[in-house]
Structure 1
Amino acid sequence: MVKLFRGSKKDTTVQELNRSYIELCKSSHIPQAGFLETSNMCRVLSDQGILKIGQSKDDRSKRVTLKVDEADITFALQGIRFFLNCLQ
């Protein structure tokens, strides 16, 4: 999500976030989770105060916003090479 929001973009839909996640998995050669699991990951991150998920009848259309600074996430993941590579 940090990589997706670099620049001027500050929110997206769960569906667009899932597409970005799938592309990242393919480029990293790791198995991807399905949409339901991605949606559940977003809910967990929302419960932890990292994301904000908007209301919508359809899970795919829900708006997602990053609630913490990108630099804080990058700092927290600086010791994990895999995540640093994903952020580049």
Structure 2
Amino acid sequence: MQQDKHPDYHPVVFRDRAAGYAFLTRSTATSEQTIEWDDGETYPVVDVEISSESHPFYTGKARTVDTEGRIARFERRYGEGTHQG
């Protein structure tokens, strides 16, 4: 078995500054910046622009598509009996 095939996989903190949220996980990502974690250890920290704490899909602030309005507009434009369903 060849030894140098796997990338360096180590603990890393990902920090979402917009949400004020950080989490410790394992990754191949690297960073020159470090942070002291709750366990007293120091880990590399990677700042991300968006995470599950700030993404609209996970926070429930995602926009919904107005499908009823689109159907009504279609029926007004093409007549109510034109679509086969």
Whether these two folds match at TM > 0.5 is no
TM-score (norm 2): 0.22
Higher relative contact order (Cα pairs below 8 Å, separated by 6+ residues): 1
Higher helix share: 1
TM-score, normalised to structure 1, is 0.21
Structure holding more strand per residue: 2
